[in-house]
Amino acid sequence: MENYMNENRDRHQAFTEYLDRLRRVLLLLEMAHADEDQQAYARLMKTVTHIIDEMPKNIETSVSTRSKDWLGL
């Protein structure tokens, strides 16, 4: 039971860190889009794609697929 709780806590922590990284980059992406900075926007889209691809291994992979679908990647 304790192993299950530790794994669940680790999975939750990894997902929280992943979402924080993604949230920060998406905020920058929104700002670049508002400023009509196409070069910054393109670089940030690559970063978003990279972050999605880096999703921690202990998180369900279908989340990555849904994220890419949502972003149109």
From residue 42, alpha-carbon distances to 17, 22, 33, 68, 72 in Å are 24, 16, 10, 16, 14
Query: pLDDT for 17-58, tens place per residue?
Result: 888 888 888 888 888 888 888 888 888 888 888 887 777 665
- Residue 73: pLDDT over 60: no
Number of domain units in the chain: 1
Distance CA 32, CA 41 (A): 5
pTM value is 0.55
Mean pLDDT of the 45-72 span: 68
Residue 8 sits in which domain range?
Answer: 2-71
